[in-house]
Amino acid sequence: MNETLLFLIPLLPLCCALLNMLVGMRLPRLFAETVAVSGVATAFVLTLLFWDYASGAGTRATLFTWLASGDLEIAFALHFDRLAAPMTLMVTGVATLIHLYAVGYMHGEQDYARFFGLLNLFVFAMLTIILADNLLVLFLGWEGVGLCSYGLIGFWYRKLDNARAGTKAFLVTRVGDVFLGIALLWLFALTGSLSIGVINAAAADLAPAVLLGLTLLLLLGACGKSAQLPLMTWLADAMAGPTPVSALIHAATMVTAGVYLLCRLFPLVSLSAAGMAVITAVGALTALYAATCALAQREIKRVLAYSTMSQVGFMFMAVGAGSVAGAMFHLLTHAFFKALLFMAAGCVIHLAGEENDLFRMGGLYRRGPVELFWIFLIGAVCLAGVPLTSGFFSKDAILLAVFTHPDPVYRLFWGIGVLTALLTALYTFRLVYLIFAGEPRGQGAPHPVSLAMRWPLWPLAGLALLGGGLNLPALVGGGERLHHWLGDLGGRTIAAAHSTELRLIALATALVLAGWAIAHWRYRRFAPPTEAALVQFLLHGWQADRLVDRLLVRPFTATAHFCSTGCDRGLFDGTLAGLASLAQRTGALLRRLATGRVSTSLSAFAWGLLVIAGWLLLQLASRGGHG
């Protein structure tokens, strides 16, 4: 097969997106849905078919030159390699299931063509990020996912709050993009190329300070997309979008793009020890921050959003600890169980009668189909890291990597990670208890959950439970398949004594149990919510929005006001008005001379004549004097 066919993987969703956007509304609904689902599903099948291309050094394919100027030549080029392949498979696979789910979820929606068009476009952009061979094509996908996220968060645009949430997401992530963009410019200036391969190869020759600077810029770029500190404020608000969107974009795929970026450029990033420490620190702090916020949230999707932020923080920790394999492992398992949780949450919201508030749910175990409880529970135990689930193995691998890092400061990060793991278990079981335990507290009439919404959950549930098999540690007899598959792309090999590993596993198990115990004790019976200051503080995400508003938004608006009103209207136009009025006043003085009467003109004429005659006479006299 021709390797250019690799372009089919991203382009199929693109074509389906365009088809849906252009003519989707004129075609029957079934057609639009079929187009959307089949585009992504075909991409999934193609990824499987092309799997062999990824082995070894991978396969590059070039479509055509995008930009060329002097030495600069940037092509639309793909690189399908061992890092990209599992990611592609995950994205297309999860996206297929979510598309199927969306067919059911958006059943009553009139504007389906726009929805499926944007969803497909998102898959295209995400695949572009994954498969990009150079940073500019990556940037294309990077902004593309931002755009789709914008469009889909604000999908129900009639409510201005939704549109605002979309705008906020776009703007905050774009702040991150600026740093990525600067890194891109700098890398081009340094290496003369934007190809990821060339950059990674040339990274070894760069000065340490430059490497640190680049790492920090890339980190900030990644933070924007992945909602890490300090650019995390958009993710919780992004839950205004439809649930399939939250599942696909804000849980499984787009928010992990930052992690993927750092993994892609790992050869460069890993050269700066200080940079790696900062990455770990950002990951650890975000994980803790988001976990504490998740403890106090009232809306089911916001809990999941903060938990996503927290889990992506774990992935950042893995990258910072040098374990790309660990990051990718957690990325994949997280995609499975978090997509599962979001989709199950969508069903829960349906069942509770479009009720988002946890405090008005309750008792769904008896009210809804029992399978929903089990599915949600599977997602929850994976998230909490109950032993032998996928989340347990992947989180454990990260904590092990951080723990075994030679630098002592990483012990601190490990401590934060452990604390976060405890909090994770706590908020996860809080969620389960609040939704399913006790008596129903809401008034909403339950909506039935259609079959299309239910059955895509099962494959995901299976993957979430058994996903640990992807990279089962040697300790439990696994083959560490993902690590071996990634090979030299997988980062540091984690070597630890079996006793250490066992102790860590025991600790993790204890933490999960402790978390569950606290949740059981506290939330088994529903207690009315308290208004304590701490709860409010956590509920509002440590008042981060207010801080951003004070520090950035208000000064920005004030400067804007100064520029448009103070400068342009006041200074520049004022100066002009001053000049104009000066001219006018001079004119007013002069116009007194022009009476319009013939007599005035005539006498002026006579006087002028006199002056000229006098001057001529003087000339004559002086010439006569000389002569």
Site residues for other proteins per CB under 8 A: 21, 64-70, 72, 76, 136, 139-140, 142-144, 147, 150, 154, 157-160, 162-164, 167, 170-171, 174-175, 177-178, 181-182, 185-186, 188-189, 556-557, 559-565, 567-568, 571-573, 576, 590-599, 602-603, 606
Residues 6+ apart with CB under 8 A from 419: 288
Choice between 237 and 501, CB closer to other proteins: 237
Which one, 412 or 567, has the nearer CB to other proteins? Answer: 567
Q: Compute the least distance from the CB of residue 14 to other proteins, in Å.
A: 10
> Is the Cβ of residue 48 or residue 67 nearer to other proteins in the bound state?
67
The Cα-based distances of 32 to 28, 153, 179 in angstroms read 7, 21, 38
Tokens 């992935």, located at residue: 315
User: At which residue do the structure tokens 């910072």 appear?
Assistant: 320
Nearer to other proteins among residue 142 and residue 516 (C-beta): 142
- CA–CA distance, 168 with 221 (Å, rounded to integer): 16
Residues 6+ apart with CB under 8 A from 108: none
Q: Return the number of the residue (162 or 246) whose C-beta is nearest other proteins.
A: 162
Closest separation between CB of residue 103 and other proteins, Å? Answer: 22
How many CB atoms neighbour CB 615 within 10 A? 10
Complex with other proteins: residue 370 or 598, whichever CB lies closer? 598
Least distance in Å: CB of 10 to other proteins?
A: 12
* Helix (H), strand (E) at residue 61: strand 59-69
Contact 288/352 with Cβ under 8 angstroms? no
Neighbours of 600 (CB within 10 A): 12
Measured in whole angstroms, the distance separating CA 31 from the mean position of its chain's CA atoms is: 30
**Are 475 and 501 within 8 A, CB to CB?**
yes
Listed in sequence order, the residues at least 6 apart from 144 whose beta carbon sits closer than 8 Å to its beta carbon are: 121, 122, 124, 125, 128
Least separation in angstroms between residue 393's CB and other proteins is 37
- d(C-alpha 397, C-alpha 415), whole Å: 15
Smallest distance from other proteins to CB 288, Å: 28
Q: Let me know if 408 is exposed, middle or buried by CB neighbors in 10 A (0-12, 13-18, 19+).
A: exposed
Nearer to other proteins, 174 or 520 (CB): 174
CB of 124 to other proteins, least distance (A): 10
Q: What is the largest CA-CA distance in the chain?
A: 129
**Nearest distance from residue 425's CB to other proteins, in Å?**
38
Smallest CA-to-CA distance from 496 within 404, 398, 412 is with: 404
Q: Judged by CB, which is closer to other proteins: 557, or 622?
A: 557
Closest contact distance (angstroms) between CB of 318 and other proteins is 29
CB of 133 to other proteins, least distance (A): 15
- Minimum separation from the CB atom of position 336 to other proteins (A): 30
Cβ distance to other proteins smaller for residue 75 or 398:
75
Chain Cα centroid distance, residue 167: 13
Query: What are 60's strand-pairing partners?
Result: 79
Axis-axis angle for helices 409-436, 390-403 (nearest 10):
160
- Which ranges constitute the DSSP H helices of 321-389? 324-351, 364-367, 370-384
Closest CB to other proteins among 70 and 408?
A: 70
Considering the complex, what minimum distance in angstroms separates the CB of residue 390 from other proteins?
Answer: 35
> Which SS3 state, helix, strand or coil, does residue 484 take?
helix
* Identity of the amino acid at 225: K
Least distance to other proteins from the beta carbon of 216, Å?
13
* CB nearer other proteins, residue 21 or residue 277: 21
End-to-end CA, the chain:
108
As a whole number of angstroms, the distance between CA 49 and CA 594 comes to 93
Question: How many helices and strands (H and E) does the chain possess?
Answer: 28, 2
Least gap, CB of 497 to other proteins (angstroms): 47
Alpha helices in 467-572 (DSSP H): 481-486, 498-523, 533-539, 544-548, 554-561
Smallest separation, CB 429 to other proteins (Å): 38
Question: CA Rg, the chain, in Å?
Answer: 32
> Which residue number, 517 or 602, has a Cβ lying nearer to other proteins?
602
Q: Which is nearer to other proteins, 234 or 433 (CB)?
A: 234
439 vs 573, beta carbon nearer other proteins: 573
